[in-house]
Amino acid sequence: MSEDNQIDEIHPTKRAVAPGIEKILYKAIPVLDHGFVRVVDYMGDDSAIVQAARVSYGKGTKQTNQDRGLIQYLMRHRHTTPFEMCDIKFHIKLPIFIARQWIRHRTASVNEYSARYSIMANEFYIPRPEDMAMQSKSNKQGRDNILSAAESEKLLHLLTEDAGRCYNHYQEMINEDIHGNIVNDDNPSLARELARMNLTLNFYTEWYWKINLHNLFHFLALRADPHAQYEIRVYAEAMLNIVKEWVPFAYEAFMEYKVNAASFSGNGVKAIKAMLNGEKVTAETSGMSKREWLEFIATLEIDQS
């Protein structure tokens, strides 16, 4: 890609610069077997958050507030608009079935590689054996233990063969190679917008994805969560590391007040207060549903034996 040329070009600017993210700008961070995340542009840094918050507080603000403390205060009290003042633009390569989950977040700007217009490359995601996990019985959208080596090998073989065959037929239908050269002059070229339907959902696509920091945190809170599907979580984790380099104070506040935080229902708060007063609370007396109670004691690591 042409941007790679930019890696060593340095320009002068009057804008705020975030030194941490400059170091990784344009560099592709590998994710899964063929995917990546790379930062293509950004706007703002920790001080841009503080600056926006201070315009709200205006002349009434004591300038002695430390930036770090103010950012923590904003995060804790859900004053979200100052975090909208930072933007980041990623170039991402990811399997289509993950792109389908990802795009449900509607607050980003997206330009995706068009399989209507262009020819898809022969690249698809095949899990590692250690990621081939069984359907969870307790959690309908989760995974359980991994398959045995033999079982795994068998299914990985199916996945690989099917994707490969589907790509070959895709190419036969469009009758073009990846460079757009006609393969067989006697054959017709099926419209690309039709032929693409023969590809499986593990084929890779690419997009530019631009989002502000507030909305990115919302995305990361959901997708870096242990309940998120592994194949999207690895992207979220790569982006979390990028955020840490870009806006270290905001990252720290996000970890403390969102990722490592816990929310308790009205009954949950009542139960905590009672227990702190030395009272015994049980599933039955808590007012919670059985399911919520189990989540509650898991979060607080309460021994029920």
65 touching its own copies, by CB under 8 A: no
- Within residues 133-162, the interface with its own copies by CB under 8 A covers 133-136, 140-144, 147-148, 151, 155, 158-159, 162
Q: Which two tokens stand for residue 263?
A: 């929310």
How far apart are the C-alpha atoms of 40 and 24, rounded to whole Å? Answer: 10
Count of residues near its own copies by CB under 8 A: 142
**Backbone torsion region of residue 34, taken as left when φ is above 0, otherwise alpha when ψ lies between -120 and 50, otherwise beta:** alpha
Among 104, 185, 298, 305, binds its own copies (CB under 8 A): 104
Binding characters for its own copies, 227-266, by CB under 8 A (x = yes):
--x-------------------------xxx-xxxxxxxx
Q: Shortest approach of its own copies to residue 245 CB, angstroms?
A: 14
- Active-site residue, from 106, 223, 233, 291: 223
Q: How many CA atoms lie within 13 A of 300 on its CB side?
A: 16
Q: How far is the CB of 31 from its own copies (least distance, A)?
A: 16
Q: Which of 97, 95, 151, 154 is nearest to 124 (CA)?
A: 95
Residues 1-20 within binding reach of its own copies (CB under 8 A): 2-3, 6-7, 9-17
Asked if residue 280 binds its own copies (CB under 8 A), the reply is no
Check if 68 is active-site. Answer: no
Site for its own copies contains 202 (CB under 8 A): yes
Q: Is 200 in the site for its own copies (CB under 8 A)?
A: yes
Cα–Cα distances (Å) from 112 to 51, 91, 209, 275, in that order, read 33, 10, 8, 53
Site for its own copies in 14-53 (CB under 8 A): 14-17, 22, 25-26, 40-44, 48, 51-53
132 contributes a contact to its own copies by CB under 8 A: yes
The number of residues in the chain equals 305
Tell me how far apart the alpha carbons of residues 27 and 9 are, in angstroms, rounded to a whole number.
13
CA 53, CA 216: separation in Å to the nearest integer? 19
Sign of CA dihedral 299, 302, 304, 305: positive
276 binding its own copies? (CB under 8 A): yes
Residues tagged active-site? 223
